[in-house]
Amino acid sequence: MPSAVRTPLDVAADLLGRLRDTTTEPRADLQLDALTLAVAADLPVLLWGEPGIGKTAALQQLAASLGLPLTTVIASVHEPSDFSGLPVVGADPAVQGVPMAPPDWAVRIVQQGRGLLFLDELSTAPPAVQAALLRLVLERRVGALRLPPGVRIVAAANPRSSAADGWELSPPLANRFVHLQWRHDHDVVVRGLGGTWPRPALPELDPALAAGAVAYARRAVCGFLTGRPALVHQLPAGELRRGGPWPSPRSWEMALSLTAFATAAGASREVLSMLVRGTVGDGPGLELLAFLDRMDLPDPETVLADPAAAALPERGDLRGMVLDGVVEAVRKRPERGRWDAAWAVLVRALETGPPDLVVAPAGALAALRRDDWDVPAAIDRLAGAVAVSRRADRAGARVAVASGR
């Protein structure tokens, strides 16, 4: 039997298939880690980025990796009724009312029972459409339908400067999203064009950490807002900033959820920073992260009680805070045994970290000595490091003066 004659379009289709035949690989990517963590927490995510940098492709990869049907809705080409529903008059409206019929895409999602709803071009949707999206994003309702719990919502938007007929996002809609700045990675793009893209995956949550993670997140957010009540709700003054992340009770609740999920997943501080700042804004987010750092520090009294077992942070700024806290604890309750214990802590810091970090605490601790307190032997071990550090400081000062001339 003669073989079928292949047309030029058949050959073209074969070539297109080869071009689309790509694979994925596990790859460390902070953007994807932040996105998948927010998706796992069932929070709506909004990806901000310039046109053509791969926001849509990332969502397609995410849906494929999670095995979720992807439904893409271009917000700017829809009417408000496409999200709020069209009224359908029945046989007896006075008895049955007038139900709001949902669009076909919402019906398909409900029939599937799960999926990834991608709201694209959000910043080109006019204000009336944005208002209609409020109920969809927050309550997961489209007309008379409620989306199933297995549906996740991710949106994408271009900055107004690069969006076609762009609008600023309304404050009520912006405050319902976790905002992530999406940027292209040169290595990811080059490797992807070669046929291998990064594979998104949901974070592995440790069930043993779940209860502790929730308690930790609640203690962190509540403790922070207790000391910073003005940040509970702070609507930005400028229209541009109102279309991004800003603090409100709703966004703090999202920040709490993300902190709990990040803790249970063992996520990096960089990922948590992206998520928290994308929820309550850069300023409040960075303040919360600094508060978390202080929460994670060991109690000075615990350190003084057993200096040999003290777990000092690796980061220099955090280690310095612990040493300063130990000295301050001795200052508040100056006793010979506590003073000696503090010197033992400084020796441990010298043995396990940079020597320059003990210089200032050592000077402050020495100033607390009472006349009847003998100089501990530990001071001899610190004297060399302090002397070297001071000589280095004086040499650096001389170089700076000479350079200034």
- The per-residue pLDDT for 54 is 81
pTM across the whole model: 0.78
* Confidence at residue 33, expressed as pLDDT on a 0 to 100 scale: 93
Whole-angstrom distance, CA of residue 125 vs CA of residue 166: 8
Please name which of 311, 332, 322, 258 lies closest in space to residue 289, comparing C-alpha atoms.
Answer: 258
pLDDT of residue 386: 58
Contact 345, 326 (CB under 8 A): yes
pLDDT value for 293: 87
| Residue matched to tokens 């529903």 | 85
pLDDT along the chain (405 residues), means of 10: 76 91 85 94 93 83 89 87 74 64 87 93 87 89 88 89 70 94 87 86 89 93 92 88 93 97 94 97 94 86 89 86 90 92 90 85 88 78 59 46 52
Q: Which CATH number describes the domain made up of 22-86+100-198? A: 3.40.50.300
Residue 368, amino acid:
L
